[in-house]
Amino acid sequence: MALAKQLLALILISAYIIFATSTNAAKPSNKPSTSTKGAVPGQKANVANMVAKQMQAVEKKIIEFNASLKKRPKTPKSSSHRSRECVSECDEVFGAAIDDIKKTLDSLKSLNLVKANFDVSAVATNVDTCNDCFNDIGKGGDAEVKKFGEWVRKITGDALAALQKAA
Ligand SMILES: *[C@@H]1O[C@H](CO)[C@@H](O)[C@H](O)[C@H]1NC(C)=O
């Protein structure tokens, strides 16, 4: 009886492991899959690949920039009530931008460049919202946030142009 129970437990554990690894394998990876690349040769796949790399770079920078915003020393300027509100708004819209990047990567994986176009625009808009918040405080906004926003605008602008050409 005890042996049968152990056997049953073993079977359940094995089944769970097989299930977990197979669902894990089915999860969409953030990298463009090489199979779609091979299936649809040519420009579309190349552009999708290039834009995927750009968006992964943007994601990395957003995470870094968010962390640096949160770690700002409590100087009078950065600890003002409104500026702290902006830091938390930025955290929120950066989170949304990262979701948009994940959507972009999915769209690129299925070579849906029209949808990828929308997704990339949403990334840029979300990052702009952070900059807008600081601009609304006045005093010319925040130099670092502005610079970061411009960098994102440049990369997403290039990505949009490439997607439009290839779609
Ligand atoms: C931003 O940083 C905070 C604090 O480190 C973290 O809790 C939050 O998840 C980060 N948000 C994004 C979008 O990376």
Per-residue pLDDT of the chain (167 residues; tens, 9 = 90+): 455 666 555 545 454 444 454 544 444 444 444 444 444 457 899 999 999 999 999 999 999 999 999 998 877 766 688 999 999 999 999 999 999 999 999 999 999 999 999 999 999 999 999 999 999 999 899 999 999 999 999 999 999 999 999 98
The predicted pLDDT at position 77 comes to 63
C-alpha 96 – ligand 1 centre gap (Å): 11
C-alpha 95 – ligand 1 centre gap (Å): 8
Query: For ligand 1, what atom is nearest to the CA of residue 63?
Result: 14
Whether residue 48 lies inside any domain: the answer is no
Whether residue 45 lies inside any domain: the answer is no
Give residues (CB < 6 A) around ligand 1: 63, 66-67, 70, 91, 94-95, 98
The predicted pLDDT at position 123 comes to 98
The predicted pLDDT at position 80 comes to 87
C-alpha 118 – ligand 1 centre gap (Å): 24
Tally of domains in the chain = 1
C-alpha 91 – ligand 1 centre gap (Å): 6
Give the structural domain span for 64.
1-6+56-167
Query: For ligand 1, what atom is nearest to the CA of residue 97?
Result: 13
Please, are residues 35 and 63 in contact by the beta-carbon 8 Å criterion?
no
Q: Which residues, other chains included, contact 165 with Cβ-Cβ below 8 Å and sequence gap of 6+?
A: 47
Whether residue 76 lies inside any domain: the answer is yes
Whether residue 46 lies inside any domain: the answer is no
Whether residue 96 lies inside any domain: the answer is yes
CA 39-42-46 angle, to 5 degrees, is 95
- CATH number of the domain that residue 65 is part of: 1.20.140.40
C-alpha 69 – ligand 1 centre gap (Å): 10
Instruction: Tell me which residue has its CA closest to atom 8 in ligand 1.
Output: 91
> pTM, whole model, 2 decimals?
0.74
Instruction: Tell me which residue has its CA closest to atom 14 in ligand 1.
Output: 63
- Per-residue burial over 64-87, b if 16 or more Cβ lie within 10 Å, else e, is ebbeebeeeeeeeeeeeeebeebb
Q: What is the largest CA-CA distance in the chain?
A: 77
The predicted pLDDT at position 42 comes to 79
